[in-house]
Amino acid sequence: MGVRRELRKVGKLFGRSESTATAIPNERLGYDGEADALLAIPRVRSRTMVAHASLLSLWAQIRHCELKGLPGAYVECGVWKGGVGGLMALANMAYGADRRPIHLFDIFDDICEPDPAVDGERALTEVEQFAGRSRASLSGKMQPLSGVYDHIGGPGDAEAVQKFVAEELGYGTDFTRIHKGWFEDTVPIVTIGPIAILRLDGDWYASTKLCLDHLYDAVVPGGFVIVDDYGTYEGCRKAVDEFLAMQPEQPFLNYVTADVRYWIKPAGASLA
Ligand SMILES: C[S@@+](CC[C@H](N)C(=O)[O-])C[C@H]1O[C@@H](n2cnc3c(N)ncnc32)[C@H](O)[C@@H]1O
């Protein structure tokens, strides 16, 4: 068992929010393929706010898709500086004979406003703290919360993410697909085809709901749906719970960290 120590809990908007051993860099958690992951994660670490334990879990999921031949693209909605996209690329190259499209959706600017009616107290407190905006001024508008990512190096940049994944990590421009814009404007119109892994990291209710509404049907049976903020923000949890309640089968939500859950698409669910 690795060394355990409590870390101060920080806001999700400020960075990784896990407060326990899941936040210790380089800790071994016993996943298959973990030695490879521990070599890959330092190459993306500065470009992701996702916790170490969640990166290990994602690596194991991609390894599974590659070794078992699960078809489909890898998709992340909420990319920031592209560390997760980079890890997807590295894991594919480690275990897969063929490249597959990696679709990365983001505004590549500060995140939009939460909706005070659904996104919950934690979202409002963090926005007040990190963007200096009063909760009374928020209404869920598609406008960047100026300065909210200043404490962690500012927002992501589409060209820099493209260069990082396609060139620096060597994934190639043919398979690195960057979709810049609000999800509301990009997700409904981009053609992706089957999806093996759908990773949602857009924090708020409306963003999570939109991505599930438009992309879930394309996830292949046996594919993974990962929701980064299920345990973090009330609105994200509500969007997932409402969406799954409408599905014919109710999957078990697997715990990764205090923030992250994932489920495996049931074989009986629809495929677009
Ligand atoms: C928590 S960060 C993503 C963290 C990232 N997955 C990582 O590895 O560090 C959320 C990102 O989603 C973007 N985002 C949130 N809602 C969005 C929306 N509706 N449309 C486009 N981008 C959005 C934000 O601008 C931000 O870059």
Q: What are the tens digits of pLDDT across the range 214-254?
A: 999 999 999 999 999 999 999 999 999 999 999 999 999 99
Token digits of residue 150: 């200043």
3-state secondary structure 155-169: CCCHHHHHHHHHHHC
Residue 270 covered by a domain: no
254 and 136 within one domain: no
Whether 33 and 145 map to the same domain: the answer is no
Whole-number Å distance, alpha carbon 14 to ligand 1 midpoint, is: 13
Where is the domain boundary, 153, 168, 185?
A: 153
Q: Nearest C-alpha to atom 27 of ligand 1 is from which residue?
A: 80
Cβ-Cβ contacts under 8 Å for 169 (sequence gap 6 or more): 43, 86, 89, 90, 93
Residue 80: CB within 6 Å of ligand 1?
yes
Give me the domain span that covers residue 72.
Answer: 17-108+156-264
Please state whether beta strands 219-227 and 261-264 pair in parallel, antiparallel, or not at all (unpaired): antiparallel
Domain-located, residue 272: no
The predicted-structure confidence for 142-184, as pLDDT tens digits, reads as follows 999 999 999 999 999 999 999 999 999 999 999 999 999 999 9
Distance 41 CA to ligand 1 centre (A): 20
Is residue 191 situated within a structural domain?
yes
Element (H, E) at 95: helix 83-95
Residue 11 confidence (pLDDT): 53
Strands of 219-227's sheet in order across? 176-180, 102-106, 73-77, 195-200, 219-227, 261-264, 254-255
Mean pLDDT of 112-129: 97
Residues 94 and 68 both lie in one domain: yes
Total tally of structural domains belonging to the chain: 2
Q: Which residue has a Cα nearest atom 7 of ligand 1?
A: 48
With bands split at pLDDT 50, 70 and 90, how would you rate the model's confidence at 4?
very low
Do residue 103 and residue 213 come from a single domain? yes
The CATH number covering residue 183 comes to 3.40.50.150
Model confidence, pTM: 0.93
Q: Are residues 117 and 44 in the same domain?
A: no
| 16: its two tokens | 């990784």
Q: Residue 41: CB partners within 8 Å, gap ≥ 6? A: 26, 52, 55, 56, 59, 87
Residues 132 and 200 in one domain: no
Domain-located, residue 224: yes
Type of residue at 19: S
**Where is pLDDT greater, at 12 or 212?**
212
Residues 44 and 101 in one domain: yes
164 and 125, same structural domain?
no
pLDDT for the residue 118: 98
- CA–CA gap between residue 211 and residue 209 (Å, rounded): 6
Q: Count helices and strands (H / E) in the chain.
A: 8, 7
**223 within 8 A of 195, measured Cβ to Cβ:** yes
Q: Are residues 255 and 167 in the same domain?
A: yes
pLDDT confidence bin for 15, thresholds 50/70/90: low
Compute the distance between CA of residue 123 and CA of residue 121 in angstroms, rounded to an integer: 5
Does 165 lie in the same domain as 139?
no
Confidence label for 1 from pLDDT (cuts 50, 70 and 90) = very low
Distance between Cα 202 and ligand 1 center (Å): 5
Mean pLDDT of 2-17: 44
Residue 4 belongs to a domain: no
How much distance in Å is there from the Cα of 105 to the middle of ligand 1? 8
162 and 65 in one domain? yes
Domain edge (last residue) among 121, 136, 153: 153
Please report whether residue 67 resides in a domain: yes
Instruction: Please check whether residues 65 and 46 belong to one and the same domain.
Output: yes
Q: Per the domain annotation, does 12 fall within a domain?
A: no
The answer to whether the beta carbons of residues 272 and 238 sit under 8 Å apart is no
DSSP 152: G
206 belongs to a structural domain = yes
Q: What is the pLDDT of residues 70-82, one digit of tens each?
A: 999 999 999 999 9
Phi-psi region of 121 (alpha: psi -120 to 50; beta: other; left: phi over 0): alpha
CA-nearest residue for atom 24, ligand 1, is 111
